[in-house]
Structure 1
């Protein structure tokens, strides 16, 4: 069966919900508008659902030249519009993992809305094109850049990999638990683990390393509740553990420009 690009997602704000696209432009840091916004706490440290599961209540909806943030449990909070790009009116340094980068502040209304929605003081910040944040140097011969994503511009998952996992679970989970950018149909479960160089349409990509999964995957994205038995992480750990990490999906780097469309053919040119 042919390999085909079946889903495309961007996540405008790190650790919040995604937007499914029918086509997406490629940029130097991944898909355009993917994870260019970040929520930080009072100490300017990045926030994710790992520590603040309530972030799952914040839904992202497409809007003209931007997106809407909506709280799925707080109808009293009117939806907040956020543009895809910020302006450099005010800057600050923020910490994401081991990196410290400067970022542009959003408007005060955004900070107020998010602080109310999450029940703690926080700020919304934007990564401009002037910021240099590199993919892991030892695995980055092409000097690729990354946005506020954990470490790589893209995450690739095969539909059949999720389908195979769900055959092992009492309660199947959706792809939103794993937050991929690129989803393909066809092929065997977990065959993406073997890929090295591949193309989607005319765009060339490189699968760098398997993605280690964390507690995020156990959070129900509708209720913001963590699974009491840590599923699907517990089941994945029983057969997808390597060097102490639980693996699902592939971290990927790509070209600096291009266009992806649903239905594009996926072709593998080399294997690991």
Structure 2
């Protein structure tokens, strides 16, 4: 009998910037506390992403003493910080894929810092607590809400899935290419595809949709350099409907605290017809 243990918890406070690894995290209604609560947008309010701006991988985020700080991974003198609860109070309409949401600019100085870095006029915005951005109704079960994440509150990947991929690659890659919230040990590669419902730390999750992967996975998160892998290799064995799948998007029914070392207890499994890859 496989035993699944939570081995990593990661949050990405500013969408498309560096993540933070935690030993313990609070799970809130819209996802892990501070995860994707901030985002860069252009002058039209459209979200800015590493998919087009590879250099965002070089910006590391940290949270300490009520402040969020951003620093350059190789030029640490390039940095800025602001209070977690800081904003201008001015409401801005923003676009994440096909979703429109309301956001608040943090402050002009911070926006100017990012504009200088990107050489593009942008604003750093945060999601107000009152905002209710809904999960796709085709997959939602109870009008769940989400942060500025692409579509779902949390993402999980098995460590064995990455290990299996790395066995096929000439040069191994790190898990940070896939930006999961949860990583677990135990089981064969892609066992998470079979999860239907499971508990972590007494909180019930459901795996509702495989995660389709994009060009962001080809960007080295330490250097900001783009290559062809792992998408080229993944395309040979992890495609479904012309999309490359790696990891599972999650919904959750409760809030609470989750810790590294918690056991993942599977409550229900998908049948073979619900698992969609050509593996």
Segments of 5+ residues of structure 1 without an aligned counterpart are: none
- Larger deviation: 32-41 or 53-62? 53-62
Superposed CA RMSD: 1.2
Q: d(CA) in 2 for partners of 1:67 and 1:162?
A: 30
What is the total number of aligned residue pairs between the two structures? 269
TM-score by length of 1: 0.96
Query: How far does residue 138 in structure 1 lie from its aligned partner after superposition?
Result: 1.1
Q: d(CA) in 1 for partners of 2:177 and 2:18?
A: 10
Query: What does residue 250 of structure 1 align with?
Result: 248
Find the residue that maps to 1:139 and give its secondary structure: coil
**Cα deviation per residue 1:96-148 (whole Å; 9 max; x = unaligned)?**
11111111111111111111111211100001121111111011121110000
Segments of 5+ residues of structure 2 without an aligned counterpart are: 271-279
**Cα deviation per residue 1:240-270 (whole Å; 9 max; x = unaligned)?**
0001100000000113411101100101010
Listed as ranges, the matches of 1:75-224 within 5 Å are 75-77=76-78, 79-87=79-87, 89-224=89-224
Query: What does residue 26 of structure 2 align with?
Result: 25
Q: Where in structure 1 do 4 or more consecutive aligned residues deviate above 4 Å?
A: none
Q: 1:214 to 1:260 in 2, by over 3 A?
A: same
Query: How far does residue 88 in structure 1 lie from its aligned partner after superposition?
Result: 5.5
Q: Do residues 48 (structure 1) and 49 (structure 2) align?
A: yes
Query: How far does residue 217 in structure 1 lie from its aligned partner after superposition?
Result: 0.2
Q: 1:270 to 1:75 in 2, by over 3 A?
A: closer
TM-score by length of 2: 0.93
8 Å CA contact 1:29–1:256 kept in 2: the answer is no
**Cα deviation per residue 1:174-228 (whole Å; 9 max; x = unaligned)?**
010000001111111100001110000211000001000000000011221111x
Q: d(CA) in 2 for partners of 1:84 and 1:26?
A: 17
Listed as ranges, the matches of 1:29-40 within 5 Å are 29-40=30-41
Query: How far does residue 72 in structure 1 lie from its aligned partner after superposition?
Result: 2.6
Q: d(CA) in 1 for partners of 2:252 and 2:84?
A: 21
